[in-house]
Structure 1
Amino acid sequence: MQRYQRKIVIASSCLLLGMLAACKKLVTVPDPINTISTGQVFSSEKQANSAMAGVYTRMINGENTGDASGAGLTSFAAGLSTVLGSLSSDELYNYRGTAEQSYYGLTTNKLTIYNSDQPWTMWESAYIAIYGANSVIEGIADSKSSMLKDSVRKALTGEAKFVRAFSYFYLVNFFGDVPLAMTVDFNQTAHLPRTPQQQVYQQILQDLKDAAASMPAAYPTTNGERTRPNSFAATALLARVYLYLGDYANAAAAATTVINNPADYTLENDLNKVFLKGSREAIWQLQQSLQDMYLKDGTPEGFAMIPAVLKVGMARFCLTPSLLSAFERGDQRLEKWTDSTDNSMGTANQPGVTRYPLKYKVGSPNSSFGMPPAEYYMVLRLAEMYLVRAEAAANGGPGGNAAAIADLNTIRSRAGLPALPATLSKEQVLAAVAKERQTELFAEWGHRWFDLKRTKRMHDVLSAVPLKQPWLGDFQALYPIPVPEITVNHFLTQNPGY
């Protein structure tokens, strides 16, 4: 992290002053400072909220808000997690193949320390979010201002801990053991070693528990939009983390807490409404910049996925045959959440009609500058909670197979599919859970990649994918640690196999 530490300190200072959009890369950087927390920055509720809002702005728009259209491929929280996880698994492939080496290594599962620029960008952007969260936590703790009410201190500290936990969740699932930075103090973080994955998970759990207890149930935005997390967002992420750790009782309980709040969260019957900014299914969304002349009113991920010309433009990331074959006949998710294009138009590649993700409908060919956005970037949504609870129940959680099947049928019904029979065995239910997660959560936040790894199916599934032959080894379950980080911090070690 030392490579970025000095830059992060200065960038965070701009963030905390509420001037993120104007914060430029500096040619000269002053000596490291122990803390960026000042009484001036956190002297009022407005300033403290501005600091927290700046963290979210950077997550969705990247380091340069004037180039937010590229954030879908440069920020872990704007689309990069989706792209990397989908390419590494069996969901997407890059149509240009060897012409884009940075994605070809992911598509073929042949990453090396020389072709892993995209994973390194994932690392950097996640740690930038963590430093932003830590700066808010420390700034609020250091502030003596009487204008910063205790209720606001508590809620914003909870939000910052939530962001820290969220960011570490992705780091630990892409890279394994990672440095656990709990402060912005350069002297403490410059030479951190890698922290064991289970220890990082324990910190994630603690942060999420604190966040769920500290944040209000109401969203902190004045217009009621879900662009900043609330206590239910923390509970939803807790449900996912408990599931990953095999704590099925707590996973089911947390998911149920969210599901049993229909006044705020319900599944959208119309699949075309799921990813809209007013979606009742949304638990947390990020609001993209409207100042980018290329992004316009679209989302960074929509900009990355949708061809520049509909139907005949090149789709950069295409659905794999294995994903397409996972959809049952009549599955409306294939109809509503994907589209096709003739990739041969405007390229030197052979003719070929392919399908691409279309969960977000607004991209470069149909976006409008200066218009209110129809979509925000979906981070957490209710459908996942049904799938978490179903998997937990099938693994011995409350309700057993019957409860699992009921939750799966809720998701299947929305997709226009017939109900599963009540006679399924545990093994059949778990297979049904895996299939529904594959077809419901495809091209979202790396879910499929993480699912294959945590359920020990990565080798069997991916080693049989033609594009990934020859299979180099299961070490590919983790991305390489960025070499520049190891170069400046001799306490860091590389993941085996790289």
Structure 2
Amino acid sequence: MKNIYNHISILLMLCCAFSCEVANDLDSFEPEFVLDAENAIKDANSAESALTGIYAVMWSPTLSSVAVANVRMGITVSSLFGPDEFDVNNPSVDNGTVAQFYTISYDVINRCNWVIDRVSQLSDSDGFTGNRRMEIIAEAKFFRALFNFYLLRRYGQFYDLDSEYGIVLKTTPSLESVAEPRSTVGQSYDLILSDLDDAIANVAPTTDPYYVGTSLAKGMKAKVLLYMGDFDAAADLAKEVIDNTSDIFELEQIYQNIFVEDFNSKEVLYAPFSRTPDQAILTGVQYTFAFSASPSFFEIAENATVIGGFPFPHDNLAVPIARTNYMRLPLGAFGDKIGKFLNFGDQVDTQFHLRLAEVYLIHAEAEARKTGGNIIEALGSLNTIRLRGLAIPYPPLVTKEQLLELVRIEKIIELAVEGGEEFFDMIRYENLDETGAFKVVDQKSVASDPNKYIWPIPRVSVEVSNGLVKQNPGY
């Protein structure tokens, strides 16, 4: 197993020798230091260093800020400073966070392309042991898939496979700015799935949740398949992850332990490694000082669904350490704060990209939605998460429609402020509801314009491309 500690000291060198900094906010690159990148990866050691540079980007404060922005598009937090463009679901084409994430995402993708391209040209005899050369390529492909998926969710009409508004796909390394048109949503998903398939085939199993492993790649593919509406495949793959991770990953028995252990939690499939406060993800700091859980979140948790004539509370608030109560821990003069991110000192906070609990809930939704799905099996996955959270399990009298809504609510409670998943779920549910009964605007009144469900392409990227990159409708 490779050791991240051995590579930390070379990251400053990588920033110079393997820089992909963007001179303009276009989705292509112009490095500040033009060391011959073609020759920067020439053996196993330099390949490991380049891959470590990709992992290092996951500590970026920009990624933390984007996670907070995603959450603010949803319904789980309130800002101490009043609403801004994200709170009212109307980010502008000149918004700094919108531009920064667009830039850093294509930076990471370009780094991945360099690793994939150059390591593919090496041979095992260039210092690699076992299957390590293919593993490095596969890990880079996973990150390329991850950031393409994140780009698609934010800047593309991810909910419509037939839409022309996908993302710009980059598959070759770049040393200069070259504008390219957007691909369709379907084409975007095709590349994401292809990269995840390569990752599943070639990455090594790992017990370290800050590295890419087989369970992570399968879990992320199950999530992508759910977004695509391939519920049969999503259910099967999620179940495979659940059934085959008992010796590597498992649910924490106590919910709070996830956030005490952070990236060392045994149920975390991927969270960036942070060794010192200098490498800390800033999510915790932002939530501690700037946000509180919203009244809407508590209202959802405190409500109940009537099943078989009896009300079943969405969360068990009678338990002091209930998940909902954990979202309003007292912090002196700062008031009630989000308890998931209150670590200071040697133990620093991280950002959770995928937990095993989410895979259970992916399975519950996909199993319920697929043709001929087993409602009892789907309910079992949902209740596993509820029981761990000390909530009352739902009975087998639940209908399919009730179950789907209860899964959505459970994800709000279980995954609150971990990345804004509830907002993407609202968009998916609206587009999947053929009756038109489910509306995003009914969940968040200011989210009344479907064009603003996704972010705009940054203005400068459209302008520099001379119109080759089309702006999203409504912007």
Q: Please state which band the TM-score falls in when normalised by the shorter chain.
A: 0.7 to 0.9
Q: CA deviation at 1:53?
A: 1.1
- Where do 1:468-479 residues align within 5 Å? 469=446, 473-479=449-455
> Structure 1 residue aligned with 2:409, among 426, 435, 441?
435
Please give the per-residue CA displacement for 1:291-327, whole angstroms capped at 9, x wherever unaligned: 62xx7xx5321122113xxxxxxxx122221111111
Contact persistence 2:22–2:107 (CA under 8 A): no
Give the match's secondary structure for 1:153: helix
Q: What amino acid is aligned across from residue 202 of structure 1 in structure 2?
A: D
Q: What amino acid is aligned across from residue 484 of structure 1 in structure 2?
A: V
Give yes or no for the alignment of 1:290 onto 2:279. no
Give the match's secondary structure for 1:377: coil
Contact persistence 2:152–2:188 (CA under 8 A): yes
The equivalent of 2:109 in structure 1 is: 130
Q: CA deviation at 1:91?
A: 1.9
> Structure 2 residue aligned with 1:305, among 287, 290, 294?
287
Give the Cα separation in 2 of the matches to 1:382 and 1:416.
17
Please give the per-residue CA displacement for 1:232-255, whole angstroms capped at 9, x wherever unaligned: 110010110111111112111211
Give the match's secondary structure for 1:93: strand
From the superposition, tell whether residues 141 and 382 of structure 1 become closer, same or farther in structure 2 (CA, over 3 Å): same
From the superposition, tell whether residues 253 and 329 of structure 1 become closer, same or farther in structure 2 (CA, over 3 Å): closer
Give the match's secondary structure for 1:274: helix
The equivalent of 2:41 in structure 1 is: 41
Give yes or no for the alignment of 1:204 onto 2:213. no
Q: What amino acid is aligned across from residue 73 of structure 2 in structure 1?
A: S
The equivalent of 1:90 in structure 2 is: 75
Percent identity over the alignment is 26
Unpaired stretches in structure 1, ≥5 consecutive residues: 1-13, 63-70, 99-103, 308-315, 346-352
Give the match's secondary structure for 2:68: helix
From the superposition, tell whether residues 195 and 461 of structure 1 become closer, same or farther in structure 2 (CA, over 3 Å): same
State the TM-score, normalized to the length of structure 1. 0.78
Unpaired stretches in structure 2, ≥5 consecutive residues: 1-9, 24-29, 157-165, 302-313
Give the Cα separation in 1 of the matches to 2:439 and 2:79.
19
The equivalent of 1:268 in structure 2 is: 252
- Where do 1:112-261 residues align within 5 Å? 112-114=92-94, 116-143=95-122, 146-149=126-129, 151-176=131-156, 177-186=166-175, 190-217=178-205, 219=206, 225-260=208-243, 261=245
From the superposition, tell whether residues 22 and 214 of structure 1 become closer, same or farther in structure 2 (CA, over 3 Å): closer
The equivalent of 2:471 in structure 1 is: 494
Contact persistence 1:252–1:397 (CA under 8 A): no
Q: CA deviation at 1:21?
A: 11
Q: CA deviation at 1:132?
A: 1.3
The equivalent of 1:66 in structure 2 is: none
From the superposition, tell whether residues 356 and 452 of structure 1 become closer, same or farther in structure 2 (CA, over 3 Å): farther
Q: CA deviation at 1:225?
A: 2.9
Contact persistence 1:85–1:446 (CA under 8 A): yes
Q: CA deviation at 1:465?
A: 6.3
RMSD, aligned CA:
3.1
Give the match's secondary structure for 1:283: strand
Q: What amino acid is aligned across from residue 148 of structure 1 in structure 2?
A: F
Q: What amino acid is aligned across from residue 131 of structure 1 in structure 2?
A: N
Give the Cα separation in 2 of the matches to 1:238 and 1:25.
29
Give the Cα separation in 1 of the matches to 2:20 and 2:199.
32
Please give the per-residue CA displacement for 1:58-107, whole angstroms capped at 9, x wherever unaligned: 121x2xxxxxxxx0xx22xxx23421211112222322026xxxxx0110
From the superposition, tell whether residues 461 and 87 of structure 1 become closer, same or farther in structure 2 (CA, over 3 Å): farther
Contact persistence 2:19–2:31 (CA under 8 A): no
State the TM-score, normalized to the length of structure 2. 0.82
Q: What amino acid is aligned across from residue 82 of structure 1 in structure 2?
A: A
